[in-house]
Structure 1
Amino acid sequence: MPRDTRVDTYIAGRAEFAQPILGWMRERVHAACPEVEESIKWSMPAFTYKGKPVANMAAFKVHATFGFWDRQALATGKEGEAMGQYGRIESLDDLPSAEIFETQVRDAVARIDAGQKPVRAAKAPKPEAEVPAELAEALAGDAKAAETFTGFPPGCRREYCEWIAEAKRPETKAKRVAEAVDWIREGKRRNWKYENC
């Protein structure tokens, strides 16, 4: 596949230590999977195969990184030291051999061919938002708004509670409570103005 000139520009614009690292990783990806496509995603070089993300790489002031999209399945043991699977890459010595690297790229591509989706760790549910006393009092006096508020999803309730709780002055808090109760009574979410943008 043709190389993306934006990736050339990205590599050329990085620190001197990072250029050979990024170039080496790029060549290994192409050697392992000649059909891989390059692009710039999230402001960094990214590799895709059959339209599915495989990996990305980046360089910072004193280190570079390389990360597989299916990070749980392709773990290397250095996760958490920096973004990606290989921790903080400061020189070519911080990378595995070309054979190991290319095998991991082929494994990532094989997972795409097999239709396997990346496994992500389950997120712990956020706790229910604490309803500010002012809002609780206002809802207690408006049965329709209280019923609608209770029927909202937890995230929607949380947005209203946080918006009111973050008000510093009592006048601001009172104004927000009044607006919130009106909107809630109408079945509107906190950011209803932006839902159809």
Structure 2
Amino acid sequence: MKKISSVEEYIETQTNFSDALTLLRDIINSTELNESIKWSSPVYDLNGKNVIGLGAFKNHFGIWFFNGVFLKDNHNLLVNAQENKTKALRQMRFESINQIDKNVVLAYIKEAIENQKLGKEIKPKKTTKKDVIIPLELKQELESNSGLFDAFKLLTLSKQREYCEYIDTAKREATKQSRLEKIKPMILQGVGLHDKYKNC
């Protein structure tokens, strides 16, 4: 796929919605946002912080607001692309140019700019290196076997994490159980899951 190097080029590739995208672009460019191409799509930022993006898909086009969760959304125009997964991002979708109300769109964009100036953004939650999340199957085994529990606690955090991920990534319950049986003697020996490869 050819690399997109300009917003004009991106709009030209979206033949179904090129006029509508041009209209939205003109509305956005009437504000103080800076226009660029990121991830092969038009993105608009304020002092290096992404505020909105412009894009088209098979059946719709629109604007996405990077921190749209903070918008008042008085006209109920925003959708969450992935419910329960997307925390901050919101999309304003259209299916035809006739649905675009310039004044309403501009009001949403201006509110997004103000929110960015106020520093309203959801920062990704950082998990600390200290956190070891023990899957339920392993937890139950450790609780019912004090020798195994003591041996597990003596392992380094990285070895504990390796075992937890090994159980957690198994899709089927039967696989989890067979993996559990495999690692129990290894834990009791105080070795890590990948130790035999590390010494090669």
Give the TM-score of the pair, scaled to structure 1.
0.64
Q: Which residue of the partner structure matches residue 10 of structure 1?
A: 10
Structure 2 counterpart of 1:24, which letter?
L
Gaps of 5+ in 1: 193-197
Name the counterpart of 1:195.
none
Q: Which residue identity is paired with 1:102?
A: L
Alignment of 1:63-102 (within 5 A): 63-76=60-73, 77-80=76-79, 84-87=90-93, 89-95=94-100, 97-102=101-106
Report the CA distance shift for 1:75/1:22 in structure 2 as closer, same or farther (over 3 A). Answer: farther
Q: 1:86 is paired with a residue of what secondary structure?
A: strand
| Alpha-carbon displacement from aligned partner over 1:108-165 (angstroms, at most 9, x marks no partner) | 2222233x22258x9xxxx97312489649964345433257x78x987752431467
**One-letter code aligned to 2:24:** M
| Distance in 2 of aligned mates of 1:78 and 1:92 | 15
Question: What are the superposed Cα offsets for residues 44-93 of structure 1, whole Å, 9 maximum, x if unpaired?
Answer: 32111100111012111111121111212224323337584323x11112
Q: Tell me the distance in 2 between the aligned counterparts of 1:172 and 1:31.
A: 61
Structure 1 letter corresponding to 2:45 = T
Within 5 A, what are the aligned runs for 1:1-197? 5-14=5-14, 16-33=15-32, 35-41=33-39, 43-76=40-73, 77-80=76-79, 84-87=90-93, 89-95=94-100, 97-114=101-118, 116-119=119-122, 129-132=135-138, 136=142, 140-148=146-154, 158-163=164-169, 166=172, 173=179, 176-177=182-183, 181=187, 185=190
Please tell me the root mean square deviation across aligned C-alpha atoms, in Å: 4.3
Paired residues of 1:49 and 1:109 also in contact (CA < 8 A): yes
Count, aligned residues:
174
1:107 is displaced (CA, Å) by 2.1
What is the TM-score with the length of structure 2 in the denominator?
A: 0.63
Tell me the distance in 2 between the aligned counterparts of 1:108 and 1:161. 43
- The answer on whether the counterparts of 1:17 and 1:90 sit within 8 Å (CA) in structure 2 is no
Amino acid of the residue matched to residue 121 of structure 2?
P
Distance 2:22 2:188 in 1: 58
